[in-house]
Amino acid sequence: MELSNLKSGEQGRVSGIFADNKLKNRLKMCNLQVGKKVKCIRHAPFGGIMIECDGICLGLRKELAKNITLQKVEVNA
């Protein structure tokens, strides 16, 4: 599943990032890398997405979020 398809409140574990090395390194500096758990905070009105990864909130463009794949993680109630 793509990160852009994650709904508000849902969580997933990053399984792949399909971007150039410069962008991968930039995301890595924000602690967004393969194996990390992310949570969707909300979707922006014009297609962006706000996520939380290790306590860091990130805003990503929809185009970038489509290039990040996840395995969905169930949230414990």
| Residue 74 binned pLDDT confidence (cut-offs 50, 70, 90) | confident
Mean pLDDT, range 9-27, rounded to an integer: 94
Distances (CA, A) of 43 to 3, 9, 49, 51: 11, 11, 4, 9
| Residue 45 binned pLDDT confidence (cut-offs 50, 70, 90) | confident
pTM over 0.85: yes
Q: What is the pLDDT of residue 47?
A: 84
Q: What is the DSSP string of 26-77?
A: HHHHTT--TT-EEEEEEE-TTS-EEEEETTEEEEE-HHHHTTEEEEEEPPP-
Q: How far is 27 from 8, CA to CA, in rounded Å? A: 21
Q: Which residue has the tokens 């290790």?
A: 54
| Residue 77 binned pLDDT confidence (cut-offs 50, 70, 90) | low
